[in-house]
Copies of this chain bind each other. A is one copy, B any other.
Amino acid sequence: MARRPGRPRASGDPDGERDTRRDVLDAAAALFCTVGFTSTSTRAIADAAGVRQASIYHHFAGKDAILLELLLGTVRPSLELADALAAGTEPAAARLWTLVHADVGLLCAGPVNLGVLYVLPEVSGEQFAEFHALRARLRARYSELATAAGDGADDRGALVLGLVESVILRRRDTPDLDVAAVQGAVADGVLRLVGCTPAEIALARAVPVALAV
């Protein structure tokens, strides 16, 4: 093991620190979603990532810390966008449409359907509190935008987050999903769900939102 040659590094990062971290996350993501979290050892992750097992522990406290980092990556970019959109001046329906479109894109991005990890029994544990806190903040942003955009009849944040996250199972059912089509369909669907009229939805699609990614 000690004499295993280092893996060629694509970037100019001299010590390969960033690459190692990324390689470990990518390898773990693939194994967690195919073999399963419980059945995957840090040894297996090291083998798949082409790094030594000790390198993993240099970057992560253990398997739970790797899973936490993967889970945070499925929420953090959407929450940052939601925070930015909360201060926007565009109509609320246009900002909600933009957020849903980006969030669905994030959940469908990458080679691995990381959202399936949400339901792992282990993820209920205290060590994943940061993930649950971020997701709760995202749900709260959806509630605010849903109330501002729709008929405001009742709190629909959980329904909206549910429809957004339904792309996890959908991607699982249909591996070659047309992501762009699903992004538009879910974003339109969310606006109907919160009580927007067809005219309001057409307008929301047409208004450019400065922070859209």
Contact = CB atoms under 8 A, between A and B. Distances in A.
Interface of A: 33-39, 116, 118-122, 124, 132, 151, 154, 156, 158-159, 161-163, 165-170, 172-173, 185-186, 189, 192-195, 198
Contacts of A193: 163, 189, 192-193
Contacts of A169: 118-119, 162, 165
A170 B163 contact: no
Contacts of A195: 192, 198
A173 B136 CA distance: 10
A64 to B, nearest CB: 14
A119 B168 contact: yes
A39 B159 CA distance: 33
Nearest to A124: B172
A116 B121 CA distance: 9
A121 B33 contact: yes
Given A35-B121, A119-B172, A195-B198, 9 more contacts: A34-B121, A36-B37, A36-B121, A36-B122, A38-B39, A116-B119, A119-B169, A159-B186, A189-B193
